[in-house]
Amino acid sequence: MILAAGRGERMRPLTDHTPKPLLPVVGRPLIEYHIENLVKAGFRRLVINHAHLGEQIEAALGNGERWGVEIAYSPEPPGALETGGGIFRALPLLGDGPFLVVNGDVWSDYDLFRAACPVQSDAHLIMVDNPEHHPKGDFCLAESGLLSQEGEGRLTYSGIGIFRPGLFAGCQPGVFALAPLLIAAMAQGRVSGEHHQGRWVDVGTPQRLQALEDLLRPA
């Protein structure tokens, strides 16, 4: 699943008339990099949620035929449903097993072919070093491979994770965040993680969009 429903407030005015996933990077929409990386990793069925200017996303990507994948869409109401609510709404499209979720506004060289969720985990999160704009990080990764809310060595959630539908057991349709579900599962030792030390960009502002442009532009 590619999360593409955000309004992109920090990207304005770029996102006033263009949804953030379609903003160009080296002449191509950002979301196409995700699709191509997923195809390389062997994924053949993708789910994309959208809200703000979502019809543009569907028009640009179509059914996925040009990449050899099947794309299903999960439209959300104006204002979107936040990450937790958006994933929960899309569960009927995602099947009964573990599924990969990628934030549409990040870029990374993490090898998605390696993505897997241990059998004892409800979620497995790819963590990265804390960027300048998020110095305190999100969660702590223990030597055991488990994540917790408290402790030393905090890292930042990259926006790439593998989830089991059971993480959302008991949830109700509507707007809700993902973090409280993860924190509750962490308390039960059911969220694992790994530290990706490669390249990663949170494409959340025009400045960071330009940074990704500079990174990917051919020399």
Q: Which domain holds residue 39?
A: 2-212
- Pairwise CA distance, residues 176 & 37, whole Å: 28
Q: Are 123 and 191 in contact (CB under 8 A)?
A: yes
Q: What is the pLDDT of residues 168-187, one digit of tens each?
A: 999 999 999 999 999 999 99
What pTM, to 2 d.p., does this model score? Answer: 0.94
Distance between CA atoms of residues 200 and 211, nearest Å: 11
Q: Which long-range contacts (CB under 8 A, 24 or more apart) does 207-215 make?
A: 209/11, 209/14, 209/23, 209/25, 212/25, 212/30, 212/107, 213/25, 213/26
- For range 6-10, the mean pLDDT: 77
With pLDDT > 90 as the criterion, what percentage of the chain qualifies? 78
State residue 64's pLDDT score.
Answer: 96
CA atoms of 78 and 76, how far apart (whole Å):
7
Answer with the residue of higher pLDDT: 8 or 36: 36
Domain assignment present for residue 158? The answer is yes
CA 165 → CA 91, 92, 94, 101, 157, distances in Å?
7, 10, 9, 12, 19
CB-based contacts of 14, cutoff 8 Å, min separation 6: 8, 20, 23, 206, 209
For tokens 């994933």, what's the residue?
87
Percent of residues, the chain, with pLDDT higher than 70: 99
Q: How many domains does the chain have?
A: 1
Lowest mean pLDDT among 42-46, 98-102, 201-205: 201-205
* pLDDT category of residue 68 using cuts at 50, 70 and 90: very high
Residue 24 belongs to a domain with what CATH number? Answer: 3.90.550.10
pLDDT band at 9 (very low <50, low <70, confident <90, very high): confident
With respect to residue 53, please indicate whether it lies within any of the assigned structural domains: yes
Alpha-carbon gap, residue 16 to 109, rounded angstroms: 29
pLDDT value at 31 more than 80: yes
Within-domain flag for 219: no
Residue 106 has pLDDT above 80, yes or no: yes
pLDDT at 173: 95
Position 95 in a domain = yes
> How high is the pLDDT of residue 1?
97
Q: Is 218 inside any structural domain?
A: no
